[in-house]
Structure 1
Amino acid sequence: MSLHAHPVGLADRFRSVRDLSAALVSRLSDADASVQSMADASPAKWHLAHTTWFFETFVLRDHVPGYVLHDARFPFLFNSYYEAEGQRHARDRRGMITRPHLDEVLGYRAAVDAAVLDALDALPDVARDLVALGCHHEEQHQELLLTDILHLFAQNPIAPAIWEGARKVPVQMPGPMGWIECGAQVTEIGHDGDGFAFDCEAPRHATLLSAHAIADRTVTNGEWAAFIADGGYADPRHWLADGWAWVKADAIDAPLYWERAEDGGWTRFGLDGRRAIDPAAPVTHVSFFEADAYASWAGARLPTEAEWEAAAAGYDPAVGNLLDAAGPVEPRPSADGPAFFGDVWEWTGSAYRPYPGFRAAEGAVGEYNGKFMSGQFVLRGGSCASPRGHVRASYRNFFYPHQRWQFTGVRLAKDL
């Protein structure tokens, strides 16, 4: 990780991140926070405890002499995938952890928070860097917490809302998609070493771009509905072989959470309950397979991650529809002008693999990203559930090509 630059106000940063996680679950019952809706998702309670385990393990246990674990059973329950930290509870059975209950987990968080803040000024630089890493790690879990709650509530027959959505203001459908052209060139991508970044974002390196154009916005719900109406999910010409097999095996015919209304229109389920789709808003909850098929149908392709980063580098990553506080979370119709950050994570056509010269860090934190560089595709830009300030042009998210429970969408590209 690039950990050598963290905010001067590290204590304030730590408090604000931890407070936001607590706020995100403030409307949940213990049952809401304990259930696991599928193997890819985790209970909200587990996210709260795992992020706390991270601080307790890598900061307090390893760098505060005499620290005693809050509960010696918790490392087994709340370790995620760190082999160096020993045995752990099976990921697909996290929903069986009915005890400790939510109040006990919140008490665990409070105790670890107090210990970290008490020790912070005396911590060595390496431990303060780990506090900074832990804050970024928790922000990743805040997004996962929201998308996992969404998936859980979508299984409930009464379609409950966590937050009441804002009253919809009519928005004019965006005009035809515009294109940002880029000539053939050698450019540099990857983190430049200024400020925080995860290890997979480095090292910065030169890459060749062929002449291409990238869309100035993402694909909308209305445009996706046209793809469906034109038989896009029933035409194998547009699909990769693995994608077509997935469509047939799972009877996929629309984005995740879309359903037909009685009048024949489309509805979607969100954190504000089930509502009619907003045709002008970015389509979301689509897999890489779907994104690639749509691009083929539209006579385009998905951008490479290098094309995406080169185009996004001139835009402010703090501007856009990102997560600021606990409240309604939903992609919104695009504002004026090109935008590259927020609303939906954008699938690229690039496999998630190491950059030239990548080296995983020593120790358990070296397991953070590198060992997942197999069989997944890169997404860029952040979403409406990504905390503001968390993403940057070099940020690489990654998921398997069939996964779509995250806020994932599509930006097109084409060759020139």
Structure 2
Amino acid sequence: MTVSMHPQSAPDYATLFTETRARTHAIVAPLTPEDMALQSMEDASPAKWHLAHTTWFFEEFILKPHAPNYRSPDERFAFLFNSYYVQAGPRHARDKRGLISRPGVEDVLAYRAHVDSQLQALLQSGTGDTEAIHSITELGCHHEMQHQELLVTDLLHAFSYNPLMPVYRAPEPLETTQEIAHRFTSHAGGLVEIGHDGDGFAYDCEGPRHKTYVAPYQLGNRAATNRDWIAFMQDGGYDDVTLWLMEGWVVKQREGWDSPLYWWLQDGVYWSYSLRGAQPVNLDAPVVHVSYYEAEAFARWAGARLATEAEWELAARDTPLTGNFLDNKNFRPTAATESLWGNVWEWTQSPFTPYPGFKPPEGALGEYNGKFMVNQMVLRGGSCATAIAQMRPSYRTFFYPHQRWQMLGLRLAKDQGNV
């Protein structure tokens, strides 16, 4: 299995499934069929594809092996809506998902309804290998939560190419905010254990729990803000080669980066585009849509560094799980707080590699995380597009260092002796 559960923390699987699927429908409810078909780059997928792929996941890994009388409404969907599960069969090209005009949105919604009814019936029957059915249902719901996050960020990227700057949700006035002075908090470190403790759901890559040494360190009391980032920009941060990793400098020059993604300067004021439309940059909100290369250069400019994922996890265990998540329906970062959680994912300096003793599970579900453990960096903490149900101190997400379209930000760290 790719999940870890204890009976005392087992959820009501039928309710979890119903609520997860309903949240996905709520996200796409404001969209037109034309919106649902957009694919703006290879890293992103059309909303229609996300709806179908998450449905295929339940069909492929639960209904087909565990519901003897199940029949798919169209066996060809397995080719169209498989993502990267090689052992599950051949797949349509990732960069051509936007060319799948048919099945249409109505057909995809009918597919979802068909799978939903069949899976609910299986869950309520209590027959078959209930342990496997429950475990994969829970995994499938968390998998769909990840796609809810992608729905938000993929849609933002696609809309950003429209000169009309579409508004997904009413802009609403920017909140009145007050700057929180940046300071560092001290943490003792020591020989600690990190990774999932085995209680409740976790992805395979969050374990095994293991010992690691963490030197005493300092961590910023808040994420880096837009106000901080503008100071970096105005001080020539994007033009100072000494601040940049060589690979990052090459990417910056090639892509022409001079500010975070979706920013522009108008009449001396920085603006940004979000799903709430175009608005002036909120100076006290965490900076978002910056790559690892930019985050690392900013940290160097600030006389600091990025935290390791062990440092972040250790600090998060003592921090209440409160913040701006997908559940808040803001769809953009709000003013920075002193919480480690929500608003923006925080880049760490840790590469996404297996923990000591990690072994991917057998079968196609073993491809969920293990095959991606190379050339990517770990981020922690969740964002305004992440469901709060996903969050726990051990949760690791990962992206390539050049990527910016996700809700990516940073928090500064220092060695304890470097005051």
The equivalent of 1:233 in structure 2 is: 238
Kept in 2: contact 1:165–1:328 (CA 8 A): no
The equivalent of 1:302 in structure 2 is: 306
> How many correspondences in the alignment?
410
Counterpart AA for 1:250: E
* More deviation, 137-146/118-127: 118-127
Instruction: Pick one of 38, 43, 66 that aligns with 2:46.
Output: 43
The equivalent of 2:271 in structure 1 is: 267
Instruction: Pick one of 186, 195, 202 that aligns with 1:197.
Output: 202
Offset at residue 203 of structure 1 (A): 0.5
Within the alignment, does 1:224 sit opposite 2:224 as a pair? Answer: no
Q: Distance in 2 between matches of 1:184 and 1:216?
A: 17
Kept in 2: contact 1:45–1:102 (CA 8 A): yes
Within the alignment, does 1:4 sit opposite 2:5 as a pair? Answer: yes
The one-character-per-residue Cα deviations of 1:88-134 (angstroms, maximum 9, x if unpaired) are: 10001000011111111111111100000011132421111100100
Matches for 1:234-383 after TM superposition, within 5 Å: 234-261=239-266, 263-317=267-321, 319-324=322-327, 327-335=329-337, 338-383=338-383
Q: Distance in 2 between matches of 1:9 and 1:200?
A: 24
The equivalent of 1:159 in structure 2 is: 165
The one-character-per-residue Cα deviations of 1:281-310 (angstroms, maximum 9, x if unpaired) are: 000000000000000000000000000100
Kept in 1: contact 2:183–2:220 (CA 8 A): yes
Offset at residue 165 of structure 1 (A): 2.7
Counterpart AA for 2:253: K
SS at match of 2:288: coil
Counterpart AA for 1:159: M
Counterpart AA for 2:37: S
Within the alignment, does 1:63 sit opposite 2:66 as a pair? Answer: yes
Q: Distance in 2 between matches of 1:370 and 1:398?
A: 12
The one-character-per-residue Cα deviations of 1:311-370 (angstroms, maximum 9, x if unpaired) are: 1111233x1111116x431111124xx311100000000000000000100110000000
The one-character-per-residue Cα deviations of 1:262-281 (angstroms, maximum 9, x if unpaired) are: x1211000001111000000
Kept in 2: contact 1:271–1:328 (CA 8 A): no
The equivalent of 1:133 in structure 2 is: 139
SS at match of 1:346: strand
Kept in 2: contact 1:239–1:293 (CA 8 A): yes
Offset at residue 184 of structure 1 (A): 4.5
Q: Distance in 1 between matches of 2:330 and 2:172?
A: 7
Counterpart AA for 2:199: D
Counterpart AA for 2:330: P
Q: Distance in 1 between matches of 2:156 and 2:207?
A: 32
Counterpart AA for 1:300: A
Counterpart AA for 2:138: A
Kept in 1: contact 2:225–2:336 (CA 8 A): no
SS at match of 1:93: helix
Kept in 2: contact 1:3–1:132 (CA 8 A): no
SS at match of 1:233: coil
Kept in 1: contact 2:288–2:407 (CA 8 A): yes
The equivalent of 2:192 in structure 1 is: 187
Q: Distance in 2 between matches of 1:192 and 1:283?
A: 32
Q: Distance in 2 between matches of 1:392 and 1:320?
A: 13
Q: Distance in 2 between matches of 1:305 and 1:169?
A: 31
Instruction: Pick one of 97, 102, 119 that aligns with 1:99.
Output: 102
Q: Distance in 2 between matches of 1:213 and 1:331?
A: 24
Instruction: Pick one of 88, 91, 104 that aligns with 1:88.
Output: 91
SS at match of 2:388: coil
Matches for 1:374-413 after TM superposition, within 5 Å: 374-413=374-413
The equivalent of 2:115 in structure 1 is: 112
Q: Distance in 2 between matches of 1:192 and 1:210?
A: 22
Give the RMSD, CA atoms, in angstroms.
1.1
Offset at residue 155 of structure 1 (A): 0.5
Q: Distance in 2 between matches of 1:133 and 1:8?
A: 12
